[in-house]
């Protein structure tokens, strides 16, 4: 693994406390005989926006699922916010890829966002007026307040992504894991979403997002994890987003042209 020193753009309360958001030690994950992640050791600091990049099949989704506790780890240990993943599940918001969601389920947009409040309601409690106000505010932040009564399957792909982001925001989590959150979203909406994520960082929260949009992570993330079944590199964007690291990560799927700053992906 290429190791580069960290140099964050900003710090928040969680960072000041010195507690890493995520700690992985020698984590290996396999599906049957096929090893998907091999000996992953990684420590992610708090109060950062961290991009997770790699080619298709690199194990990005598996890594996120391992952190949230949805994927069994064959070897190694996972610590999240200083504890086992199961112990802090309500402090972690996970936004899966659109393809992993059954969009035919008969729920309204508002109902989906309110699901982010369930962990704070307690047994058999129904969402309160305040919970609904928080959900509506989250929908306003992602520009979908007027679609609150729509069935979730009626929305476009980009709108569905924004609804799930609103659900993550209303959960008020300390760690947000976003799997390909920009699929089907235009550049203007991407900018709005990154502004929202920056607000979370200012509150001391950590965001880890996987994406194939290398330009966006270069421009908007504090740090990058380059993954291809193992950690290729981790550190500040300017030290990871380089021709040698990208070529080691993507191989023939990436071409670096000109002065090395322009990248054309072939995913």
**Domains recognised in the chain with CATH numbers:** 9-241 (3.40.50.300)
Separation between Cα atoms, residue 92 and residue 39, nearest integer Å: 23
For 198-211, how does the pLDDT look when each residue is reduced to its tens digit (9 = 90+)? Answer: 999 999 999 999 99
Angle at alpha carbon of residue 102, lines to 122 and 159, rounded to 5°: 90
Above pLDDT 90, what percent of the chain? Answer: 65
pLDDT of 2 strictly over 70:
no
pLDDT classification of 252: cutoffs 50, 70, 90: confident
Backbone angles phi, psi at 258, to 5 degrees: 65, -130
């Amino acid at each position: 693994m290429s190791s580069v020193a960290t140099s964050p753009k900003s710090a928040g309360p969680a960072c000041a406390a010195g507690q890493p958001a995520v700690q992985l030690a020698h984590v290996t994950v396999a599906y049957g005989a096929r090893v998907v992640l091999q000996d992953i050791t990684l420590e992610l600091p708090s109060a950062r926006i961290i991009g997770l990049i790699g080619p298709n099949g690199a194990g990005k989704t598996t890594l996120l699922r391992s952190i949230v506790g949805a994927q069994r780890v064959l070897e190694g240990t996972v610590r999240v916010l200083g504890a086992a993943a199961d112990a802090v599940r309500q402090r972690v918001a996970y936004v899966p890829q659109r393809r992993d969601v059954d969009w035919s389920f008969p729920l309204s947009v508002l109902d989906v966002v309110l699901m982010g409040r369930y962990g704070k309601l307690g047994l058999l409690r129904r969402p309160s007026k305040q919970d609904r106000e928080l959900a509506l505010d989250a929908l306003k932040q992602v520009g979908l307040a007027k679609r609150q009564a729509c069935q979730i399957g009626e929305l476009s792909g980009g709108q569905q992504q924004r609804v799930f982001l609103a659900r993550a925001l209303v959960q008020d989590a300390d760690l947000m894991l976003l799997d390909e959150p920009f699929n089907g979203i235009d550049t203007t909406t991407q900018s709005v979403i990154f502004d929202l994520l920056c607000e979370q960082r200012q509150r001391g929260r950590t965001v880890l997002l996987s994406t194939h949009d290398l330009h966006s992570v270069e421009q908007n993330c504090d740090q990058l994890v380059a993954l291809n079944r193992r950690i290729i590199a981790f550190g500040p964007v300017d030290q990871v987003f380089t021709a040698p690291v990208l070529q080691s990560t993507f191989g023939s799927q990436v071409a670096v042209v000109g002065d090395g700053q322009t990248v054309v992906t072939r995913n």
